[in-house]
């Protein structure tokens, strides 16, 4: 038996971003890239302040990419590495986090 490793991300850089949100509204996670989709492969949300509902959106005030995720102070939501991605934007859009 043999195994073959395939790099499905060949020629596709993986970027990382740290997001600190201190108020409600839209927050750009990474900048949009003309003609490219941005796929989120993993994320961790940790609530350090008061309870809030968060979701990921396609562009500022755009289409919801996830459902609302309600957290209480001190809670964490983990979406572990998913090689196919949890969600992705439309071409040329930036992923946003919406909090309220």
pLDDT at 2 (0 to 100): 44
Cα–Cα distance for residue pair 8/37, rounded to 1 Å: 16
Structural domain includes residue 73: yes
Structural domain includes residue 58: yes
Structural domain includes residue 34: yes
C-alpha distance from residue 48 to each of 14, 21, 73 (Å): 27, 10, 6
Structural domain includes residue 14: no
R_g of the chain computed on alpha carbons? 15
Structural domain includes residue 29: yes
Check if the beta carbon of residue 40 is closer than 8 Å to that of residue 78: no
Q: What is the pLDDT of residues 42-95, one digit of tens each?
A: 988 888 877 778 888 998 778 899 999 888 888 888 999 998 899 999 999 988
Structural domain includes residue 13: no
Cα–Cα distance for residue pair 67/3, rounded to 1 Å: 37
Residue 53 domain boundaries? 25-93
Structural domain includes residue 85: yes
| b (16+ CB within 10 A) / e for 39-70 | bbbebebebeeeebebbbbbbeebeebbeebe
pLDDT at 10 (0 to 100): 64
Q: What is the pLDDT of residues 2-26, one digit of tens each?
A: 444 445 566 677 778 777 776 677 8
How many C-beta atoms lie closer than 10 Å to residue 29's C-beta?
18
Structural domain includes residue 89: yes
The whole-model pTM stands at: 0.78
Q: What is the domain count for the chain?
A: 1
């Amino acid at each position: 038996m043999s195994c073959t490793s395939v790099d499905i991300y060949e020629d596709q850089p993986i970027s990382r971003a740290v997001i600190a949100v201190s108020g409600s509204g839209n927050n750009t996670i990474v900048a949009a890239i003309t003609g490219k989709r941005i796929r989120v492969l993993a994320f961790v949300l940790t609530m350090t302040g008061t309870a809030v509902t968060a979701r990921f959106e396609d562009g500022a005030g755009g289409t919801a990419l996830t459902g609302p995720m309600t957290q209480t102070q001190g809670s964490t939501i983990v979406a572990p590495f998913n090689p196919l991605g949890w969600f992705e934007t439309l071409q040329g859009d930036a992923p946003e986090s919406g909090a309220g």
